[in-house]
Structure 1
Amino acid sequence: LLLLLDARFQADRMYATTPLSYAVCYISAGYFLHDLVMCTIRFSLEGPLYLTHALVCHMAYTFGAATGFLHYHGAAFLMWEISTPFVHARWFMYKAGLANSKLYVLNGLAMLSAFFGCRIVWGYVGSYRLVTDVLRERFIEGSLFPLGGTVGYCLIAAIMNTLNTYWFYKMVVAAVHVLIKGKKGAEVGSHKDE
């Protein structure tokens, strides 16, 4: 959030960097490398969508860390992860046998709200800014930003928004089963039973 509010990053979303922005990119690249390894090892449990998510995120943050490009957007897309604590809390409550509790339902509603706000609303706005920034940069004579980066980041935006939209749809379907059709939380709980 500090990077997003920094005037240097608002003025130059393509090339502005600070030691903090490099740290964010390095830590994120490392985190998503770990995520990629875990999704590969546990492929039968995680599946191709989580593996794709981990790979795309690792590539994006590694590119930013290695080149110094797009640090503003790197920070902006980390805001998507605001929903993650609710996802983990849901899993812990499920494993603790609390899937039929009011706390589980409230956490689920908070998770759904955070996911919608951060990954859908902010995600589409951020992706629009990213795509327009990299496409605009293509038409600036002497631009340092590579063509492969332009194509890659446009694809990344499309892939990530598709994944997030699909996951949000799945969350809404599960919420409908719990809230409207009267199914218990345990019946639509986490299928990742580890």
Structure 2
Amino acid sequence: MLAALVYGAVVFPGLFCSCRKLLRSAFTQWTEADVVSVSERLVSAVHASFATAAGVIVVTSCRDVMYDSHWLVNGFVLFGAPYMANDLYAMYLSHYHTQKVKGHASSYGRHSLQTVKAFLIKEWMLVLHHAVLLLIFMPITLFFRRGLGDFFIGCLFMAEFSTPFISIGKILIQLGFDDTLLHRINGIVVLLSFFTCRILVFPFMYWTYGRQFGIPLHRVALHLPLHCNVGNLVILAPQIYWFILLLKKANRLYLRQRRGRGGGHKDKPCTD
């Protein structure tokens, strides 16, 4: 399994560096903030695609939701760990270069503890999310589950299904396609996939557990250890928060486009 960790440590940083080089060459008018941001999104989409595929394989292979196991669970957790670390670095770089572009030269002339602190304050929830996955859920998955519940870990892998569409939306905005039919369709897919795979997946897991053991859905939580319910809540809570943000953003874009059409400015791009 150590090989999976090494492969991840090569694939994700290597892909991030390659994307930065290719984008600098292809889009010479872009700032470094643009290049880093899109590179981060591309790598994120690749990781999410791998995670979704691994999740589908695990879930369809485990008939017993508690005791069936699949080698991909531990293998992909180790393979994806370097991605989490690399994504934290990429998010910091994106924040750093974006602030420089906005003119905060005095604070962002070079990397320092001050720039790191500003990043942690602004993106604290995403940083916390990555840190919890790396420092808490990864050790639990690898060492403390006693080989139980691979089906549920596979379901959590599939929660990444919405991520490529979120990345596509950001990239379309970067390319100037934010006021197109393609961007609107992608936005609908983002909302549907996020709600289905990141929120409804939790009642689905409880339902499958209850079906196997003959427990009604509303009583499943009472039959599970407290730490299982707490762990699910810790993962679910930020998903609900981010889904609300997505709904608010979609509503803002809809209202702007509606006002644009009403004012006769059909060709004016909608920016966020």
- On whether the aligned pair clears a TM of 0.5, the verdict is yes
Secondary structure of the corresponding residue to residue 232 of structure 2 = helix
Counterpart-to-counterpart distance in 2, 1:23 and 1:96: 36
1:1-194 matches, within 5 Å, as: 1-6=56-61, 9-13=62-66, 15-36=67-88, 38=90, 44=119, 47-58=123-134, 59-67=136-144, 68-126=147-205, 136=223, 151=227, 153-180=228-255, 182=258, 186-188=270-272
Given that residues 25 and 62 in structure 1 are in contact (C-alpha distance below 8 angstroms), is that contact kept between their aligned partners in structure 2? no
Query: How many corresponding residue pairs?
Result: 173
Kindly provide the CA deviation profile for residues 126-163 of structure 1, in whole angstroms up to 9, marking residues without a partner as x: 36778x8897575xxxxxxxxxxx62x43331122111
Counterpart-to-counterpart distance in 1, 2:259 and 2:199: 26
Q: How far apart are 1:179 and its partner, in Å?
A: 2.4
Given that residues 206 and 221 in structure 2 are in contact (C-alpha distance below 8 angstroms), is that contact kept between their aligned partners in structure 1? no
Q: How far apart are 1:66 and its partner, in Å?
A: 3.0
- Check 1:175–1:60 CA distance in 2 against 1; reply closer, same or farther (3 A cut): same
| Unpaired runs of at least 5, structure 1 | 139-149, 189-194
- Check 1:128–1:160 CA distance in 2 against 1; reply closer, same or farther (3 A cut): farther
Q: Which residue of 2 aligns with 1:144?
A: none
- Check 1:80–1:114 CA distance in 2 against 1; reply closer, same or farther (3 A cut): same
- Check 1:126–1:26 CA distance in 2 against 1; reply closer, same or farther (3 A cut): same
- Check 1:173–1:81 CA distance in 2 against 1; reply closer, same or farther (3 A cut): same
Q: How far apart are 1:93 and its partner, in Å?
A: 0.8
Q: Which residue of 2 aligns with 1:141?
A: none
Counterpart-to-counterpart distance in 1, 2:230 and 2:239: 14
Given that residues 56 and 156 in structure 1 are in contact (C-alpha distance below 8 angstroms), is that contact kept between their aligned partners in structure 2? no
Identity across aligned pairs (percent)? 18
- Normalised to the residue count of structure 2, the TM-score between the two structures is 0.53
| Unpaired runs of at least 5, structure 2 | 1-55, 96-115, 210-218, 261-268
Q: How far apart are 1:166 and its partner, in Å?
A: 0.9
1:62 partner letter: P
Counterpart-to-counterpart distance in 2, 1:10 and 1:183: 52
* Coordinate RMSD, CA, aligned: 3.2
2:234 partner letter: I
- Normalised to the residue count of structure 1, the TM-score between the two structures is 0.72
Q: Which residue of 1 aligns with 2:43?
A: none
- Check 1:12–1:89 CA distance in 2 against 1; reply closer, same or farther (3 A cut): closer
Q: Which moved more, 1:102-111 or 1:121-130?
A: 121-130
Kindly provide the CA deviation profile for residues 94-145 of structure 1, in whole angstroms up to 9, marking residues without a partner as x: 1111111111111111111111111121134336778x8897575xxxxxxx
Given that residues 120 and 165 in structure 1 are in contact (C-alpha distance below 8 angstroms), is that contact kept between their aligned partners in structure 2? yes
Answer with 1 or 2: which has the greater Rg. Answer: 2
Q: Which residue of 2 aligns with 1:147?
A: none
- Check 1:19–1:134 CA distance in 2 against 1; reply closer, same or farther (3 A cut): farther
Q: Which moved more, 1:101-110 or 1:23-32?
A: 23-32
